[in-house]
Structure 1
Amino acid sequence: MKDQYKRNIDYLRISLTDRCNLHCRYCQPEVACHVPHEQILRYEELLRICRAAVRLGISKFKITGGEPLVRKGCAAFIRELRRLEGVAQVTLTTNGTLLPQLLPELAASGLDSMNISLDTTDVQQYRELTGGDIKTVFAGLAAAREAGIPFKLNCVPLAGLGFDGVRQLLKLAEEYQAPLRFIELMPLACNGSLQGISGSALRQLWEQHGLQVTRDEQVYGNGPASYYRLSGCSVPIGFIEPIHNRFCAACNRVRLTSVGFLKTCLYSAEGLDLAVLLRSGADDARLEQAMQQTIWQKPWGHKFDVTPAQFNMSQIGG
């Protein structure tokens, strides 16, 4: 369907949970409490929303969290979603730590691809940034390759990563023949003490070290990444830059939080509480109409460049 600015909205990100087994400093550095279980949408409620979304023209779905794999039944939900008529693609964003145990179920679910978050290959840096053990991620990457599910690597580059740190990420991406994407740090109330590295700064860093950077016009997915080719590197390098290369004019997505709030923009508080509709007896026609009206009113763009957003990323599904 189209929004008021005639953008084609065909992509829904679904947060299954606000919980995560890591505490990445830029996402949820300190979490004192989580959403009570009874407030989280049940899988049958999520599928009902997805059916309405498909009728509105949404055909691509991204499963997120928190960490979606910490929620029991995630793979079974993906299987049911992938089977819905009109669903063209279901993908998953994960930190990778739980993949070794769950890859067989995910492979059987019909999952199309994954994004695996990894911001450094250094053991100590990873522990300081996330609180976790990087060996679990490496095991997850190996399991994903064994299962044959395509994946991309996502990195939020922070000050201190340095050329050597980036080079190690590039080596890992080449080893797995996985596109590597650098996602610009988004200003949140919880991460104001951190300093991100822009895409242009990274490209300049490579050129300073004698590497040639050229634009790659090929499309590698549904997102807003701009891709480049780096001399000596066989995989495409993507940059998602919401601040320095704002892509709001081409945004094709809306988001559903784990408690059922339909967000029309990552930054904005505007949207619709679908949980109230679902649990107050609204029929499918009313649900679809409400979603359509809300998506139509999607704002033109974010305001990250004005003031930081007042939420943790894990609360809204990234």
Structure 2
Amino acid sequence: MTTIMYDQYNRKIDYLRISLTDRCNLHCRYCQPEVSEHVPHNEILRYEELLRICRAALQLGIRKFKITGGEPLLRKGCSDFIASLKQTEGVEQVTLTTNGTLLSRQLPALIAAGVDSINVSLDTLNEAYYKELTGGSLGSVLQSLQELQAAEIPFKLNCVPLAENGFADIMALLQLADKYNAPLRFIELMPLDCNANLQGLSGSEIRTILAQAGLKLQPDAQRYGNGPASYWRIGGYAMPVGFIEPLHNKFCAVCNRVRLTSVGMLKPCLYSDDGIDLKHLLRDSISDADLLQTMQKIIYAKPDGHRFEVQAARFNMSQIGG
């Protein structure tokens, strides 16, 4: 019998985002603008602990898993973990979100592991601005995209549009996504204490920019993944364009996910401080039955929605899995 997990608001929860590490080789100004002190390695969940949590999640009806960071490819053994998770009975899908800078070297191992699809974060095709925004090298990301296409691995592009990006950046990303027939998603800037000096663009503002440029937009009801994006078709472009708008098109009423941080906090909501320290319980030798009951309780208590519109969150995105 297939278990289905519903929370207290009757939302079906079938998706777990897993952060493998808080470390990242980039320092994007909207996410982790300063180099911070990293969590000691012994405080990070071991892979066997992660797999035990995933097996419990499967018993609760969670079938889809997203591997994130920080930058997940910084953690040694990432592809081996994905392979083990893919081989676990009941798993339907394992996907990865990465900044793409380390992807080229690790792509063969990820393909062998059976990764289902990959999301690549890319905010600009202007090399100088990319360096200023992230501290990294654009060329390594572009090479990874070429290799993803050659390997026929499905991928999407994620962009956090800022007011400073400009029309040229948006159009260049559209053309790149069209070249690869890869869905492009614009993710609205989430208010964090660390990015209070930045101004993001809403989905409505981007659609207005595109319409003013003479492009015709039509809503696309089809879903392209497990996330909350609403998709549109743009005249002359092959791929769909998605908009993830946690502020201006709040989607909490249909949220289907919970998050596991690299240090073992199971968070029912990205914004919420509520959660349960599973690492502590695992290392205190909790039984499988009690682990299952504990996870079920915290998932059921998932709040009705975030409060980003009331107050900025205090964490960096790299701390909770982006």
1:105 to 91, 106, 109: 109
Percent same amino acid at aligned positions? Answer: 66
- Deviation of residue 31 (structure 1)? 2.4
Structure 1 residue runs of 4 or more that deviate by more than 3 Å after TM superposition: none
1:225 maps onto 2:229 in alignment: yes
- Deviation of residue 149 (structure 1)? 1.1
* Distance in 2 between residues matched to 1:209 and 1:98, nearest whole Å: 35
Deviations 1:86-131 (A, max 9, x none): 1000000000011111000000001000110000000011000000
1:10 to 9, 14, 17: 14
Which range is displaced more, 157-166 or 48-57?
157-166
Which position in structure 2 is the counterpart of 1:122?
126
* Distance in 2 between residues matched to 1:187 and 1:163, nearest whole Å: 22
1:180 maps onto 2:184 in alignment: yes
Which position in structure 2 is the counterpart of 1:308?
312
Deviations 1:152-208 (A, max 9, x none): 000000012222211100111011110000000000010000000010000011111
1:204 to 204, 208, 212: 208
- Deviation of residue 144 (structure 1)? 1.2
Amino acid at match of 2:107: L
* Distance in 1 between residues matched to 2:272 and 2:278, nearest whole Å: 17
Q: State whether residues 188 and 310 of structure 1, in contact with CA within 8 Å, keep that contact through their aligned partners in structure 2.
A: yes
1:147 maps onto 2:151 in alignment: yes
Give the TM-score, by structure 1 length.
0.99
Which position in structure 2 is the counterpart of 1:42?
46
* Distance in 2 between residues matched to 1:144 and 1:270, nearest whole Å: 37
2:198 to 194, 200, 204: 194
- Deviation of residue 5 (structure 1)? 0.4
Give the 5 Å matches for 1:84-99: 84-99=88-103
Q: State whether residues 94 and 117 of structure 1, in contact with CA within 8 Å, keep that contact through their aligned partners in structure 2.
A: yes
2:63 to 54, 59, 64: 59
1:164 to 132, 150, 168: 168
* Distance in 1 between residues matched to 2:186 and 2:179, nearest whole Å: 18
Which position in structure 2 is the counterpart of 1:239?
243
- Deviation of residue 76 (structure 1)? 0.3
Deviations 1:40-89 (A, max 9, x none): 00000000000000001000000000000000000000000011111000
Which range is displaced more, 206-215 or 184-193?
206-215
- Deviation of residue 32 (structure 1)? 2.6
Give the TM-score, by structure 2 length.
0.98
Amino acid at match of 2:41: H
Amino acid at match of 1:114: I
Which position in structure 2 is the counterpart of 1:79?
83
Which residues of structure 2 form unaligned runs of 5+? none
* Distance in 2 between residues matched to 1:14 and 1:264, nearest whole Å: 12
- Deviation of residue 11 (structure 1)? 0.2
* Distance in 2 between residues matched to 1:59 and 1:307, nearest whole Å: 32
* Distance in 2 between residues matched to 1:160 and 1:277, nearest whole Å: 45
Helix, strand or coil at the partner of 2:17: strand
* Distance in 2 between residues matched to 1:222 and 1:87, nearest whole Å: 14
1:294 to 294, 298, 314: 298
1:255 maps onto 2:268 in alignment: no
- Deviation of residue 247 (structure 1)? 0.2
* Distance in 1 between residues matched to 2:183 and 2:199, nearest whole Å: 24
Alignment length (residue pairs): 318
Which residues of structure 1 form unaligned runs of 5+? none
Which range is displaced more, 299-308 or 156-165?
156-165
Q: State whether residues 56 and 292 of structure 1, in contact with CA within 8 Å, keep that contact through their aligned partners in structure 2.
A: yes
* Distance in 2 between residues matched to 1:277 and 1:143, nearest whole Å: 41
* Distance in 2 between residues matched to 1:85 and 1:49, nearest whole Å: 14
